Amino acid sequence: MILYLPFAALILVSRVACDASGIVDLQALNVTERNQTFTLSQDVNNTTKPNNATSSLFADNKTRIEDELERNGTSAITEEDEGFQEQENEFPSRHCDQYQLVHFSHNYCGENFHQEMKAISSEEWCILENVISPYNDLTVCLEHVSFLVGCYFPNRDIQDFFLYIHSSYFQNCSRGGGGGGEEFPEDAPHGLVVVLTVVPVSFVPVLVYLLVWKSKGRV
C-alpha cells in the first residue's frame, strides 16, 4: 500500500502541471485574440475614413475616363448585333464599378445630352430627325463608359438611365402631344360604331325572309 503512494503523488503533480500549462496557453490565446481584434478594429476604422490617397485615385480615374471619352471612336451596338448577350461567358472575371458607371452616366454623358437637348425646342423633341444625333451620341458615350469601368453593355444601370432620359424628354411622344410629334387618329365615337354595326346586321333577317318567301312561291 505504501508503495502506491509515490506513484499517486507523481500522477497528482503531473495533473497540476498540465492544468497550469493549459491555463497559461488559454491566457496566451486570449491575449492573441484581443490583439487580433484590436488590429482588426483599427483596420476597419482606417477603411471607414477616406484619405487623400483614395481621393487622388478617384480623381485620377475620373481624369483618365474623361480623356478616353474625348478620344472615343467606338460605335454603338445595334439591334442586329446580339454578341453582347455572351459577354458574361467570354469575360467572367471582369469587375464592374457601378458607382463610377452611374456617376459618369449622369455627370458626363447625361450632361452633354442635356446641353444638346437645350439647343432643340421642346416642341421638336418628338421629331426623330431632330433628336437622333444627340441620342446616338448619348448611346455611344454610355457604351464607352461601361467599357472603361469594366461593365457590360447594356446593363441594368444603363437601362435605368435610359428610362430616366425617356421620362424627362420623350414621355409625351407616344401620345402625340406636348412635343409637336405626329398625332395619331382618334377612335370613332361609340354611337357611330354601334349604328354602323347594327344596320348591316339588321338586313340579315330581311334577306332570310325574302329568300324563304321566294322559295315558297316557286313551290
What does the pLDDT look like over 40-96, one tens digit per residue?
A: 344 434 444 444 554 565 566 666 666 665 665 444 455 555 555 455 555 555 688
Residue 8 lies in a domain: no
Co-location of 21 and 120 in the same domain: no
Q: Which residue has better confidence, 204 or 32?
A: 204
**In sequence order, what are the residues at sequence separation of 6 or more whose Cβ sits closer than 8 angstroms to the Cβ of residue 75?**
140
Residue 5 lies in a domain: no
User: Quick check: 130 and 141 in contact, CB under 8 A?
Assistant: no
Co-location of 73 and 24 in the same domain: no
For residue 97 the three cell numbers come to 464599378
What distance in Å separates the CA atoms of residue 138 and residue 146, rounded to the nearest whole number? 12
Can you give the residue range of the structural domain that contains 22?
Answer: 14-49
Residue 187 lies in a domain: yes
pLDDT at 5: 44
Co-location of 55 and 45 in the same domain: no
pLDDT tens digits for range 94-111: 688 888 999 999 999 999
pLDDT tens digits for range 143-157: 999 988 888 888 899
Q: How many CA atoms lie within 13 A of 176 on its CB side?
A: 5
**In sequence order, what are the residues at sequence separation of 6 or more whose Cβ sits closer than 8 angstroms to the Cβ of residue 91?**
152
Co-location of 162 and 67 in the same domain: yes
Co-location of 183 and 119 in the same domain: yes
Co-location of 109 and 199 in the same domain: yes
What distance in Å separates the CA atoms of residue 158 and residue 197, rounded to the nearest whole number? 49
What distance in Å separates the CA atoms of residue 171 and residue 123, rounded to the nearest whole number? 13
pLDDT at 166: 92
pLDDT at 172: 82
- Cβ neighbourhood burial of 141 (10 Å; 0-12, 13-18, 19+): buried
pLDDT at 57: 56
Co-location of 42 and 55 in the same domain: no
Co-location of 20 and 60 in the same domain: no
Average pLDDT over residues 156-179: 81
**Cα radius of gyration rounded to whole Å, the chain:** 39
Furthest C-alpha separation in the chain:
146
Co-location of 158 and 74 in the same domain: yes
What distance in Å separates the CA atoms of residue 159 and residue 154, rounded to the nearest whole number? 7
Residue 73 lies in a domain: yes
**In sequence order, what are the residues at sequence separation of 6 or more whose Cβ sits closer than 8 angstroms to the Cβ of residue 140?**
72, 74, 75, 76
CATH number at residue 113: 1.10.150.510
Residue 4 lies in a domain: no
Q: Which residue has better confidence, 163 or 27?
A: 163
What distance in Å separates the CA atoms of residue 108 and residue 67, rounded to the nearest whole number? 12
Q: What share of the chain is helix, strand, coil (3-state, %, to 5)?
A: 75, 0, 25
Q: What total number of domains does the chain contain?
A: 2
Asked whether the predicted pLDDT for residue 13 surpasses 80, the reply is: no
Co-location of 168 and 145 in the same domain: yes
pLDDT at 7: 45
